[in-house]
């Protein structure tokens, strides 16, 4: 029982972190802060994955996002050295419309989610996904196994790497 309460507290904490930091990430005027808030959101998301017992996913999320992507962001922000967005009217028409539409969207989706009758929600298995199973699934060629997308992924990453270098290289 105590565990349950603790878990609830953890979940609410994570949910609150995600909600608050994602809103802050898009409303702050300082770009470096936005990146930092994004980092927090991503951490919280990873936490959510751990919470769902997807430890591997959480680990990947932490490594790729927190370790790789955010570093990229920070460096690019520093490189482009525009720490601050240029001043613009804080409440322009577009901002208002976007805000209203977004809040409306959240309400709409929340309404949908909460009123929808879900088809036979199973009691989620609480067990951890076996690491060996993940490895086999990723490397297998059977039905429900993902060798081909995995290889495609690697090619894509390679292509992006080359592309990134090609685009960003200094031209004489």
* Residue in this structure with the two tokens 């609480």, named with its chain if needed: 126
Give the tokens for residue 156: 């894509």
Q: How far is the CB of 165 from other proteins (least distance, A)?
A: 7
| Binding flag, residue 59, other proteins (CB under 8 A) | no
* CA atoms of 127 and 129, how far apart (whole Å): 6
| Binding flag, residue 151, other proteins (CB under 8 A) | no
Identify which of residues 34 and 141 has a Cβ nearer to other proteins in the complex: 34
Q: How far is the CB of 21 from other proteins (least distance, A)?
A: 9
- Return the DSSP state at 71: H
| Binding flag, residue 66, other proteins (CB under 8 A) | no
* Residue in this structure with the two tokens 């929340």, named with its chain if needed: 110
In Å, what is the CA distance from 74 to each residue of 39, 78, 84, 95?
A: 10, 6, 14, 26
Taking CB under 8 A as the criterion, the residue among 117, 122, 132, 143 binding other proteins is 122
Identify which of residues 141 and 168 has a Cβ nearer to other proteins in the complex: 168
| Binding flag, residue 25, other proteins (CB under 8 A) | yes
| Binding flag, residue 97, other proteins (CB under 8 A) | yes
* CA atoms of 150 and 25, how far apart (whole Å): 32
Subset of residues 32 to 51 that bind other proteins, contact rule: CB under 8 A: 34-35, 38, 41-42, 45, 48-49
Decide if 25 contacts 38 (C-beta within 8 A): yes
């Amino acid at each position: 029982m105590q565990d349950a309460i603790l878990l609830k507290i953890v979940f609410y904490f994570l949910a609150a972190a995600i909600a608050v930091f994602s809103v802050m990430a898009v409303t702050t005027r300082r770009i470096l802060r936005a990146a930092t808030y994004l980092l927090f959101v991503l951490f919280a998301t990873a936490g959510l994955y751990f919470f769902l017992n997807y430890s591997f996913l959480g680990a990947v999320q932490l490594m790729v996002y927190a370790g790789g992507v955010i570093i990229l962001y920070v460096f690019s922000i520093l490189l482009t050295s525009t720490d601050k967005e240029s001043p613009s009217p804080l409440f322009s028409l577009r901002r208002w419309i976007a805000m209203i539409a977004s809040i409306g969207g959240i309400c709409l989706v929340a309404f949908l989610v909460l009123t929808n009758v879900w088809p036979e929600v199973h009691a989620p298995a609480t067990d951890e996904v076996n690491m060996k199973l993940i490895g086999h699934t990723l490397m297998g060629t059977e039905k429900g196994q993902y060798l081909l997308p995995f290889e495609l992924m690697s090619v894509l990453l390679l292509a992006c790497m080359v592309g990134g270098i090609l685009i960003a290289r200094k031209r004489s």
